[in-house]
Amino acid sequence: MFGLTAFLSAFVASVVIAPLMGRLARRVGMVDQPDNHRKLHDRAVPLTGGPTILISAVVAVTVTLWLNPGLLKPTVDDAKFLGALLVSGGLIVVIGMIDDRYGLRGRQKLAGQVLAALVLLPSGIIVHEVSGFGFTMSFGDLAPIMTLLWLVGAINALN
């Protein structure tokens, strides 16, 4: 039931927020102009996908927790993680918008991604070991560094 609540609230939020963000983006000039070379769209396209997704996800989590207040009662660590995830996601969205608008260099984007991943580490998201195919690899004292590398890799994979 929680998954359905989250899905429906995210869907409704995105349907409502996307056109509003699109209008705002056009008003402030956050649009991608066609160039008849790589950008083959017919007209200017708003660069507001990231904020729309982030806001929709926040709405989904908020509605789900509001309708099911006991979900986070078992542990404060869940709330701490969600807060860190919100800050980290916000950083990624801001970096993406700056990149869309002004064009960042690769190392600048990487620095932002590392910062976003570093925000998550104190929330308790540390991978201590991985297992697969009957083999287990323990990271020991390198676990925070390996987690950071994994998070940055995941961010880049989605980018």
The predicted structure's pLDDT at residue 75: 64
Q: Which pLDDT belongs to residue 73?
A: 66
Distance CA(12)–CA(62), nearest Å, equals 13
- CA distance readout (Å), 46 to 1, 2, 92, 102, 158: 34, 32, 18, 14, 20
> Using CA atoms, how far apart are residues 86 and 92, in angstroms rounded to an integer?
10
Note the pLDDT of residue 115: 96
Contact between 148 and 116 (Cβ < 8 Å) = no
3-state secondary structure of 46: strand
The per-residue pLDDT for 35 is 73
The predicted structure's pLDDT at residue 39: 66
Check: pTM over 0.85? Answer yes or no: no
User: What pLDDT is attached to residue 152?
Assistant: 95
Residue 99 CA to residue 110 CA, distance in Å, equals 12
CB-side neighbour CA atoms (13 Å) of 39: 9
Per-residue model confidence (pLDDT) at position 113: 95
Average pLDDT per run of 10 along the chain, which is 159 residues long? 86 94 89 73 80 93 86 70 91 91 90 95 90 94 95 88
- Residues 38 and 154: their CA atoms lie apart, in Å, by 26
pLDDT at 55: 94
Q: Which amino acid belongs to residue 40?
A: L
Length of the chain counted residue by residue: 159
Structure confidence at residue 78 (pLDDT)? 75
Taking the C-alpha atoms of residue 92 and residue 50, their distance in angstroms, rounded to an integer, is 8
